[in-house]
């Protein structure tokens, strides 16, 4: 079994607890806002790495329809419970089980860093999008802070810490230039890249509150300190 799949199957039942307190809700809402701001409203969305359907639910609330795909059967099971009117399926990002030109929008929140073959995932994303359809990805960025995260996660795994996202998964951390180049090579145009999320949900309450207050300044003036990178593009019109 894929290591990432095994981990998220194991934590599927507690995954939503991560976003139940005010830090988790604020963090996920902030990321969702960035992604929603560059996607068309009211269309049909594919959420790649959908987890328990948090962003599927958000897109539906904004007036659209959505389909979720995740490598973890446990996550897909929870997504179906959260959004029973939407379709969810188990699958990998590199081989999307959908026809060409199916979706108006495609999103991937906090999953792209764990995709072993990002070029294949973006080629498949391009294929299943309609002409003029938009893609939005929010994933881990390479910063002075995230450079030590793999070591921390490796140590957590060694001591058997069972926490969402904690493990040595060979995840990738992207610079703005790297993720923009991947989108361009896949054929996308009108590419936009920004940084977000200086206030990470793992911070303690007093530190999180301070980080949240300075977050807009960090994202505008010191974006290289932000934890995530958000990239968007469009499939050209015919």
Give the tens place of pLDDT for each residue, 5-57.
555 545 545 556 676 667 778 888 999 999 999 999 999 999 999 999 999 99
- Domain 3-234 matching CATH 3.20.20.70: the answer reads no
Task: Answer yes or no: is pLDDT of 143 > 60.
Answer: yes
226 and 218 in contact (C-beta within 8 Å)?
Answer: yes
Give the tens place of pLDDT for each residue, 70-82.
999 988 998 999 9
Q: What are phi and psi of 71, to 5 degrees?
A: -75, -20
65 and 43 in contact (C-beta within 8 Å)?
Answer: yes
Which of 93, 68, 194, 187 shows the shortest CA–CA distance to 133? 187
Beta 87-90 vs 103-109: how paired, if at all?
unpaired
Give the global pTM: 0.84
Give the tens place of pLDDT for each residue, 194-224.
999 887 777 777 888 888 888 888 888 888 8
- Tell which wins on pLDDT, 165 or 88: 88
32 and 53 in contact (C-beta within 8 Å)?
Answer: no
174 and 229 in contact (C-beta within 8 Å)?
Answer: yes
137 and 107 in contact (C-beta within 8 Å)?
Answer: yes
């Amino acid at each position: 079994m894929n290591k990432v799949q095994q981990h998220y199957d194991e934590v599927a039942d507690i995954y939503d607890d991560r976003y139940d307190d005010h830090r988790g809700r604020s963090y996920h809402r902030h990321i969702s806002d960035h992604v929603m701001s560059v996607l068309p409203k009211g269309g049909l969305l594919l959420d790649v790495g959908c987890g328990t359907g948090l962003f599927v639910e958000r897109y539906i609330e904004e007036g659209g329809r959505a389909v979720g795909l995740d490598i973890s059967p446990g996550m897909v099971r929870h997504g179906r419970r959260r959004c029973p009117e939407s379709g969810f399926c188990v699958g990998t990002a590199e081989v999307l089980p959908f026809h060409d030109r199916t979706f108006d929008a495609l999103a991937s929140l906090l999953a792209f860093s764990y995709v072993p073959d990002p070029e294949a995932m973006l080629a498949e994303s391009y294929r299943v999008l309609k002409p003029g359809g938009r893609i939005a990805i929010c994933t881990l960025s390479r910063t002075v802070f995230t450079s030590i995260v793999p070591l921390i996660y490796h140590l957590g795994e060694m001591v058997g810490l069972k926490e969402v996202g904690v493990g040595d998964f060979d995840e990738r951390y992207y610079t703005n230039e790297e993720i923009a180049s991947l989108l361009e090579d896949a054929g996308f145009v009108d590419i936009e890249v920004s940084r977000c999320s200086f206030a990470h949900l793992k911070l303690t309450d007093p530190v999180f509150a301070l980080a949240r207050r300075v977050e807009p300044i960090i994202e505008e003036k010191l974006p290289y300190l932000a934890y995530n990178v958000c990239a968007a593009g469009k499939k050209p019109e015919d």
